[in-house]
Amino acid sequence: MTARKSRKGVPVWSGHPYPLGASYDGQGTNFALFSEVAERVELVLVDDAGAETPVPLHEVDGSVWHGYLPEVGPGQRYGYRVHGPWQPSLGHRCNPAKLLLDPYARAVDGQMDNDPSLYERDPHGPAPADSAGHSMLGVVTDPYFDWGDDRPPGHPYSESVIYETHVRGLTRTHPDVPERLRGTYAGLAHPAVTEHLTSLGVTAVELMPVHQFAQDGVLRDRGLSNYWGYNTIGFFAPHNAYAALGSRGQQVNEFKAMVKAMHAAGLEVILDVVYNHTAE
């Protein structure tokens, strides 16, 4: 594995093109991003104060830009700056002034704030305004989770009773769920909720969108928010606003713990996914 150092001295090895996204192995993290048109890709590490450490990715295999950083672990926030053609007529809008979210991020920190720097409104050239500080960032996560003897209940479809619900709405005002857990994955896993569902004869809970979604600019301008969540920006990351424990990867384990609690109560978990409802 080839070893290099970034301009700021961050060790970076060649790594692997797959899996895509950020993959932590217990000692470091492999980053892999697909782009057929990129001419240069910078992985950008972002610290708590928002300061950036750019790390050029030199390895490319099958249009996947990749690198392994042995000193990077869970909780690290990151994004990408992609250099390449500006050809809107062909769908190419490479602009390194925009700090991009990894489409394969397993966790996302922050929310877009509708700042003008996020948009490309001039068809004649890339907008120079830097979007850092206004966009979402990927978060490196630890894949380890103690599932114990967890098993999906496996109820036959012919005997299924499916309860469709919303993570925030189901427990937002539930008197038996601790206030700090209401409207969260942890709140959904609370015994008061699972016992109520099983008492109804429910065999499966179908959750309305729990993937990371973005707030619509039009709604923000009117002082409103996207409640239902049909505006996905990260299909591999649980929505961070539904986590009681934090958005630096904690939302992933909280979501898994919710699924584990549902299974323990004999409840299957079904996700509502609509791929054409995207915020991209």
Domain of 65, CATH number, reads 2.60.40.10
210 and 122 in a common domain: no
105 and 46 in a common domain: yes
161 and 136 in a common domain: no
Residue 186 half-sphere exposure, CB side, CA atoms within 13 Å?
17
- pLDDT score for 192: 98
**Tokens standing for residue 161:** 């009773």
Nearest residue to 265 via CA among 177, 118, 150, 183: 150
For the stretch 105-124, pLDDT in tens is 999 999 988 888 998 888 88
39 and 129 in a common domain: yes
How far apart (Å, rounded) are the C-alpha atoms in residues 80 and 162? 40
**Domain presence at residue 258:** yes
**Domain presence at residue 1:** no
Which whole number is the average pLDDT over 235-242? Answer: 97
The pTM of the full predicted model, rounded to 2 decimals, is 0.94
133 and 189 in a common domain: no
Q: How many domains does the chain have?
A: 2
CATH code assigned at 245: 3.30.750
- Is the pLDDT at 246 greater than 60? The verdict is yes
- pLDDT score for 3: 58
122 and 36 in a common domain: yes
134 and 25 in a common domain: yes
- Is the pLDDT at 30 greater than 80? The verdict is yes
* pLDDT band, very low/low/confident/very high, at 8 (cuts 50, 70, 90): low
- pLDDT score for 1: 54
**Domain presence at residue 13:** no
- pLDDT score for 123: 81
226 and 122 in a common domain: no
- pLDDT score for 156: 97
The radius of gyration of the chain from alpha carbons, rounded to an integer in Å, stands at: 21
* pLDDT band, very low/low/confident/very high, at 5 (cuts 50, 70, 90): low
164 and 113 in a common domain: no
- Is the pLDDT at 277 greater than 90? The verdict is no
- Is the pLDDT at 218 greater than 90? The verdict is no
Q: What percent of the chain has pLDDT over 90?
A: 85
252 and 165 in a common domain: yes
- pLDDT score for 210: 98
- pLDDT score for 112: 86
**pLDDT, averaged across the chain:** 95
**Domain presence at residue 149:** no
* pLDDT band, very low/low/confident/very high, at 279 (cuts 50, 70, 90): confident
128 burial type by CB count under 10 A (0-12 exposed, 13-18 middle, 19+ buried):
exposed
Which whole number is the average pLDDT over 221-232? Answer: 91
The two beta strands, 268-271 and 204-207, are parallel
Q: Are 165 and 185 in contact (CB under 8 A)?
A: no
135 and 56 in a common domain: yes
Beta bridge partners of 109: 137
Nearest residue to 56 via CA among 87, 34, 82, 35: 82
- pLDDT score for 122: 83
**Domain presence at residue 92:** yes
Domain membership of residue 126 as a residue range: 21-140
79 and 185 in a common domain: no
Beta bridge partners of 164: 206
* pLDDT band, very low/low/confident/very high, at 160 (cuts 50, 70, 90): very high
- pLDDT score for 256: 99
